[in-house]
Amino acid sequence: MGVAGGRPGFYMGLGLALASSAFIGGSFILKKKGLLRLCRRGRARAGQGGHGYLQEWLWWTGLLCMGVGEAANFAAYAFAPATLVTPLGALSVLVSAVLSSTFLNERLNVHGKIGCILSVLGSTVMVIHAPQEEEVSSLQSMAEKLKDPGFIVFAVCVLVSSLLLIFVAGPRYGQSNVLVYVLVCSAIGSLSVSCVKGLGIALKELFSGKPVLKEPLGWVLLVCLVICISVQINYLNKALDIFNTSVVTPIYYVLFTTAVMMCSAILFKEWQHMVLDNIIGTISGFLTIVSGIFLLHAFRDTPFTPDLLPLFLQQGRADLHASWKSADRHQSCQHQPLLPSEDKGSQSAEDAEEEEGESM
């Protein structure tokens, strides 16, 4: 099976996914710059209940970039496999980190730089080994896939597990375990991506002149998408309110992307025709991105000093520093007088002449 939409469609989806990451990553910087300008003017901050940012053009520019990025991400699902589009969303975090260190003077430590490099490498590997999904070019074929017994079992398991997490595990462990609410967001998010994929196909048919608005499946997918996104936003906000952002963000990315890859593999049979090399490459690329995101967030506020080096590296550093010192001393000795006794004699003669001058 070829990639849905052919190779031109695949590259279109890839370009939209990359553009989405660039716009979304840049939107955070623009909105932050707008909020900082308000703070310098002495206006009430957003965290204190102020809404002065609504009069700041930089903030509105950031919001517009966010909307463009989300629209590009939405359209990317109609052309490229979800297993490719979803992991590439990590690049928005990378773009935001790099731009913040450039325009907001926020320090990007060694761990963050290594995390950025790993994210780029992992994304490249995933693009090279992108899975091929079965051809899904109409709502009718989408409806047939939604009736697949494997996907029905997966969807039922997601809904049952989410209900158990919300009503059983949430009241008991939600305040102490970060996985409870993040798992709810990730599981429901896998279904929302499937709805986005179906709506993207519906929009493609609508623009081609087909009577999509008369088909009930498109409206069902829209209602399900609204419900799924509402649940995601609700429980993601709960997780962010209870736990540190540097903890929630990487865990949410890993679990959400894993759930989406599982759902896409079951619904669109993306992995069915992949050779072993591409399977290993896709998994390796994903794990590389995960490692990069972990380094970028988990050690964001950790200063990197030579004291954090292992003992054997510290010893090597001390030896190197000592060798530099000895080299400096050796270099300074080269500039000393070759005949120190004569130099001392001449210096004593000059001192004697000065004393005679003073006595006179």
Query: How many other CB atoms are found less than 10 A from the CB of residue 67?
Result: 13
Name the 3-class secondary structure at 302. Answer: coil
- Helix and strand numbers (H, E) in the chain are 14, 0
Residue 317: helix, strand or coil by DSSP? helix
Extract the tokens encoding 173. 């462990």
Print pLDDT tens along the chain (360 aa): 344 445 677 788 888 888 988 888 888 778 777 777 777 766 655 445 555 666 777 778 887 888 888 888 888 887 878 778 878 877 877 787 788 777 777 777 788 788 888 888 888 888 888 776 556 777 888 888 888 899 999 999 999 999 999 999 988 998 888 889 989 988 998 898 888 888 888 888 888 878 778 888 889 999 999 999 889 888 887 887 787 766 777 787 788 888 888 888 888 877 777 788 888 888 888 888 888 888 877 776 666 665 665 665 555 555 555 554 555 555 444 444 444 444 444 454 445 444 444 444
CA distance 210 to 199: 14
Residues 6+ apart with CB under 8 A from 92: 20, 21, 22, 24, 25, 69
Distance CA 72, CA 306 (A): 43
CA neighbor of 23 nearest in space, from 87, 95, 88: 95
CA end-to-end span of the chain, whole Å?
110
**Do the beta carbons of residue 226 and residue 298 sit within 8 Å?**
no
For the chain, the domains span 83-301
Exposure string for 137-172, b = 16+ CB within 10 A, e = fewer: ebbeebeebbeeeebeebbeebeeebeebbeebbee
Residue 108 Cα distances to 117, 279, 299, 300, angstroms: 13, 33, 10, 7
